[in-house]
Amino acid sequence: MGNSLKRVAVLASGNGSNFEAIIQAVEEGRINCSVELVFSDKPDAYVLERAKNHKIPFTSFMIKDFSSKLEYEQELLKILKENQIDILILAGYMRLIGNELLDAFPQRIINIHPSLLPSFPGLHGIEDAFNYGVKYTGVTVHYVDSGIDTGKIINQAVVDIAPDDDLESLEAKIHQTEHIIYPDTLAKLINKGE
Ligand code: GAR
């Protein structure tokens, strides 16, 4: 990808704690990129408040305001192009990425998922692992392809499920691990210019 400073957009649907961890790492100079934009498909997502606090431009619109997913992604792609975005970082973006974006960002869309893929893909990775009764789960950072959490794995971290864990304590452990592994992995990827 060359050595110029990478221009990043973060896509998120919710709280944005991973966005916060990433932006902190960027502000501390640990990830060599500039976060140009935050997009949310949920206009009331707290991640937008976080973007505002960090003085990062943000925008939001909902898929239901478009007649198709294609048109929704075309609008998003237009904005990403206007902002000359190189890399998309998904941080709790709870939607499948369609071909419009995949084709525009080959091997340039990165996601974090709260399980040890290929186990427990989908929207409820933490809960599904907890309910299954596995003793170890974790976090996966991966490239995004057209499947549900099926893209090439970049990094993983293990989180143990202790006998006294409940769903809430497990969620806390997973998020704690995410906030370390995601910035670290992005730093490794982006800083070496891949
Ligand atoms: C994170 O746990 C992330 O791994 C998960 O959503 C949460 C977002 O939290 N993503 C997925 O489940 C994607 N399939 P955050 O908004 O506080 O960063």
Closest atom of ligand 1 relative to the 45 alpha carbon:
16
Q: Is 15 in the pocket of ligand 1 (CB under 6 A)?
A: yes
183 ligand 1 Cβ < 6 A: no
Residue 68 has φ and ψ, to the nearest 5°, of: -155, 165
Residue 102 beta carbon below 6 angstroms from any ligand 1 atom = no
pLDDT per position as a tens digit, 15-68: 999 999 999 999 999 999 999 999 999 999 999 999 999 999 999 999 999 999
Q: Domain boundaries in the chain? A: 6-191
The pLDDT score that the predictor gives to residue 192 is 85
The whole-number pLDDT of residue 3 equals: 59
Q: Give 138: exposed, middle or buried? Use CB within 10 Å, 0-12, 13-18, 19+.
A: buried
pLDDT class of 151 with cuts at 50, 70, 90: very high
Mutate to test the pocket of ligand 1, among 18, 39, 40 (most ligand atoms within 8 A of CB): 18
Q: pLDDT digits over 16-27, tens only?
A: 999 999 999 999
pTM score, two decimals? Answer: 0.96
The whole-number average pLDDT for the span 133-140 is: 98
- Grade residue 4 by pLDDT with cuts at 50, 70 and 90: confident
If you average pLDDT over every residue of the chain, what do you get? 96
pLDDT at 127: 98
The letter for the amino acid at 181 is I
Instruction: Answer yes or no: is 111 a known binding residue.
Output: yes
Find the mean pLDDT for residues 87-115.
97
Instruction: Please name the residues in contact with 117: beta carbons below 8 A apart, sequence gap of 6 or more.
Output: 140, 142, 149, 150, 153, 156
Q: Is 175 a catalytic residue?
A: no
The 10 Å CB-count burial string (b at 16+, else e) for 20-33 is bbbbebbeeeebeb
CATH placement of domain 6-191: 3.40.50.170
| Residue 64 among known ligand-binding residues | no
Q: Tell me the two tokens of residue 182.
A: 């995601």
Q: Which of 54, 113, 124, 175 is catalytic?
A: 113
Percentage of the residues of the chain whose pLDDT score is greater than 90: 96
Residue 95 annotated in ligand binding? yes
Pure H helices in the chain: 17-27, 46-53, 69-82, 99-104, 125-132, 167-191
The first and second tokens of residue 129, run together, are: 């692992």
Is residue 167 scored above 60 in pLDDT? yes
In the predicted structure, residue 85 carries a pLDDT above the cut 60: yes
Q: 7 a known binding residue?
A: no
SS3 content of the chain, % helix, strand, coil (to 5): 40, 20, 40
- Summarize the confidence of residues 69-83 as an average pLDDT: 98
User: Is the CB of 86 inside a 6 Å radius of any atom of ligand 1?
Assistant: no
The stretch 6-11 carries a mean pLDDT of 98
Strand order in the sheet with 87-90: 58-60, 33-40, 6-12, 87-90, 109-113, 136-143, 153-160
E strand spans, 95-152: 109-113, 136-143
